């Protein structure tokens, strides 16, 4: 997930969410009892919440063997977090899958356009069906890009949030689409 191109200098990964299957089934009561940093409150949430301090990530683990990992900032943290979860499963007596299928499902990145944006003007000029702007409800403009499937939150300060990509290339392509659109507006 390298960002070597100068155009992407202010692009920053804020969060990566990955999900998949790590075991055929998991006894969550037993797992949470035996695993430090893991809590289970079935009245509030059907899964166990396993917080890992380093790398700082949170894992939602379900009895079906499914997992959602959040708080990841790069590939190395994802791999390290997955390894910690697999070790914790083994230590708790759970048999993990030999080849757990865990993949990135969403990336959230921030970016600074470096200039203020007139969101009212932008709303009028962008394709209306792909844009939502209700400043009374939310201070940013929501722009949905079809290809790649990225949602962009644009703020008048020029700061933006890009979400929905499964990899950094998706995010960069979405950013390129947005910047071309902004250039065409002047």
Per the structure, how many domains does the chain have? Answer: 2
User: Do 22 and 39 belong to one domain?
Assistant: yes
Q: Domain with 125 in it: what CATH number?
A: 3.30.310.10
Give percent of the chain with pLDDT exceeding 90: 77
Q: Rounded to whole angstroms, how far apart are CA atoms 163 and 15?
A: 9
User: Do 54 and 24 belong to one domain?
Assistant: yes
Residue 66 belongs to domain spanning = 18-105
Backbone angles phi, psi at 5, to 5 degrees: -70, 135
User: Do 76 and 51 belong to one domain?
Assistant: yes
What would the pLDDT profile of 120-158 be if each residue is shown by its tens digit?
Answer: 888 887 766 789 999 999 999 999 999 899 999 999 999
What's the pTM?
Answer: 0.86
**Is residue 42 in a domain?**
yes
**Is residue 56 in a domain?**
yes
What would the pLDDT profile of 33-62 be if each residue is shown by its tens digit?
Answer: 999 999 999 899 999 999 999 999 999 999
Domain edge (last residue) among 83, 105, 127 = 105
């Amino acid at each position: 997930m390298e960002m070597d191109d100068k155009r992407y200098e202010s692009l920053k990964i804020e969060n990566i969410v990955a999900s998949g299957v790590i075991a055929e089934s998991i006894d969550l009561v037993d797992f949470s009892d035996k695993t430090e940093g893991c809590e289970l409150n079935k009245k509030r949430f059907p899964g166990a919440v396993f917080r890992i301090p380093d790398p700082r990530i949170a894992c939602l683990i379900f009895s079906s063997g499914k997992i959602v990992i959040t708080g990841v900032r790069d590939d190395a943290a994802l791999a390290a977090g997955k390894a910690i979860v697999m070790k914790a499963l083994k230590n708790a007596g759970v048999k993990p899958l030999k080849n757990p299928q865990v993949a990135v499902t969403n990336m959230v990145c921030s970016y600074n356009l470096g200039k203020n944006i007139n969101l009212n003007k932008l709303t009028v000029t962008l394709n209306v069906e792909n844009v939502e702007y209700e400043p009374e409800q939310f201070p940013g403009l929501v722009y949905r890009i079809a290809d790649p499937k990225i949602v962009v939150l644009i703020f008048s300060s020029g700061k933006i949030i890009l979400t929905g990509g499964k990899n950094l290339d998706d995010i960069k392509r979405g950013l390129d689409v947005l910047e071309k659109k902004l250039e065409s507006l002047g």
